Each structure stands twice: as structure tokens, then as C-alpha cells.
């Protein structure tokens, strides 16, 4: 998690960048969890006045999860990574409420707060 310096003073927008990810034993589970992640975060932000169109997916990636032991590759399953963003007008109270929601999100997202000017 990071909050970029500069604060909201003079900012035109606040952008929250989310990253969700988890390892699964098979591909179907990874796909299913990917869909669950998006549904969960949407349900958490709707009460804050955001709509379905406010949350944008910027990247989805599913990769094999493996490691090497004595030169042999061992397959563990699949890791999914889902990156999303939410952008809104500067509103520190709304930002605080959003951060409160993220703090208890069962999907445990990594997130970054970016203040955009100009």
C-alpha cells in the first residue's frame, strides 16, 4: 500500500490502483476466484456511491505457479493477478471511507493512492 505525496490539495482526481492475487491448484479455480474478486470489490464500493462503470479492470494475468528442485520443475498450480482502478473527484471523506472498506476486504488487496493534477 502506498499514498503518493502531494495530497489532494490542488488535485483534479484521486485514483486508487488495486491488485488482487492468489494461488490455486487448478486453472478453473483461478478463473472462478478472479470473478469472485471483482464481484466482492464491487459490492463493497456500491454503498460508497460508486457504480459498476467506476471500477475498471486494467490487467488480468493467470500464470503457472512452479518452482525448481534439483533442476526439476514442480508445478503448484496457477497464480492469478487482477489489477483494477477506481478514479473519482477529490473527496477526502470518500477516500477515508474507501480505505476503511479496503482494510476489512476479505480479498486483501494491495492498493496505491495516486493524486492526479492537471
pLDDT tens column, 73-106? 888 888 889 999 999 999 999 999 999 998 888 8
Q: Which of 23-37, 40-54, 73-87, 102-116 comes out lowest in average pLDDT? A: 23-37
- 70: helix, strand or coil: coil
Q: Could you give the CA distance from residue 49 to residue 82 in angstroms, rounded to a whole number?
A: 23
8, 98 in Cβ contact below 8 A? no
> What 8-state DSSP symbol labels residue 108?
-
Cell of 5: 505525496
Q: How far apart are CA 57 and CA 18, in angstroms?
A: 9
Smallest CA-to-CA distance from 98 within 42, 34, 38 is with 42
- Which sequence spans correspond to the domains of the chain? 2-116
Instruction: Kindly report the CATH number that applies to the domain delimited by 2-116.
Output: 3.30.70.2970
Amino acid at each position: 500500500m502506498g499514498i503518493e505525496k502531494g495530497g489532494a490539495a490542488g488535485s483534479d482526481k484521486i485514483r486508487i490502483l488495486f491488485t488482487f492475487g492468489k494461488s490455486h491448484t487448478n486453472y478453473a479455480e483461478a478463473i472462478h476466484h478472479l470473478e469472485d474478486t471483482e464481484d466482492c470489490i464491487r459490492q463493497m464500493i456500491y454503498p460508497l456511491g460508486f457504480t459498476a462503470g467506476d471500477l475498471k479492470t486494467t490487467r488480468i494475468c493467470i500464470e503457472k505457479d512452479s518452482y525448481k528442485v534439483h533442476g526439476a520443475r514442480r508445478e503448484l498450480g496457477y497464480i492469478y493477478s487482477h489489477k483494477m482502478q477506481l478514479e473519482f473527484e477529490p473527496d477526502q471523506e470518500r477516500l477515508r471511507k474507501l480505505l476503511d472498506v479496503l482494510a476489512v476486504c476479505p480479498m486483501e488487496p494491495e492498493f496505491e493512492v495516486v493524486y492526479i493534477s492537471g
